[in-house]
Structure 1
Amino acid sequence: MNHCCYILYSKKLNRYYIGYSSDLDIRLVFHEKSEPRKFTYNASDWKLYYKIDCKSKSQGESIEGHIKRMKSRIYIENLIKYPEITTKLLEKYKDINII
């Protein structure tokens, strides 16, 4: 499995979507074919903005939760500007069970 936390961006909505997946390709198709009542249904121009490769599901979900709790567009945009933020997130949420 290829665990990751990902961020999508819609120019139409000028919004970000933060998620976790163990198979990003399948997840992106899901977002493209999203149903009504799902957040990503509101736009058809979602593009992958940023991806953080993770070592496990728990690490990916923890990083996803961290970014969502920040509730900050600037924080999301700073992930690209300052790669050390991603390094710190991966270190903060590393799994002690992974060798």
Structure 2
Amino acid sequence: MFSVYALYSKAFNKIYIGFSSDVEKRLASHNDERNTGWTSKYQPWKLVYTEACQTKTEALARERQLKSSRGRDFIRRLLAD
């Protein structure tokens, strides 16, 4: 089972969308000080949305949807509530 997730950096008002088979472990890696990727610049990250998917293919498709402008608007509306 895979999950699509959205992270939010309040300090930088940034959203990151990804997928993983272990969201908690992935969140920890995004917030790890040894992280040298794109997400390292915007730490700390908070998990704001998860959605379970049955297959990796389904998770990738949903990730693409959430990365679209409509998908990001959906996440922004969640943050506003």
TM-score per shorter chain, which class? 0.7 to 0.9
Asked whether 1:35 is paired with 2:41, we answer no
After TM superposition, the runs of 4+ consecutive aligned structure 1 residues lying more than 2 A away are 69-75
Q: From the two aligned structures, give the one with the greater strand fraction.
A: 2
TM-score (structure 1 length as normaliser): 0.68
Q: 1:63 to 1:73 in 2, by over 3 A?
A: closer
| 1:58 Cα deviation from its structure 2 partner | 0.8
Report the identity percentage: 33
Q: 1:71 Cα deviation (Å)?
A: 6.3
Structure with the bigger RCO (C-alpha within 8 Å, sep 6+) is 2
TM-score between both structures, scaled by the size of structure 2: 0.80
RMSD between superposed Cα atoms in Å: 2.1
1:16-67 deviations in Å (ceiling 9; x for gaps)? 000010111221121112523x121012220001001111111111100111
Give the distance between the partners of 1:17 and 1:63, measured in 2 at CA: 14
* 1:74-85 map, 5 Å: 74-78=73-77, 80=78
The one-letter amino acid paired with 1:35 is: N
Aligned pair count reads 78
**Structure possessing the higher radius of gyration over alpha carbons:** 1
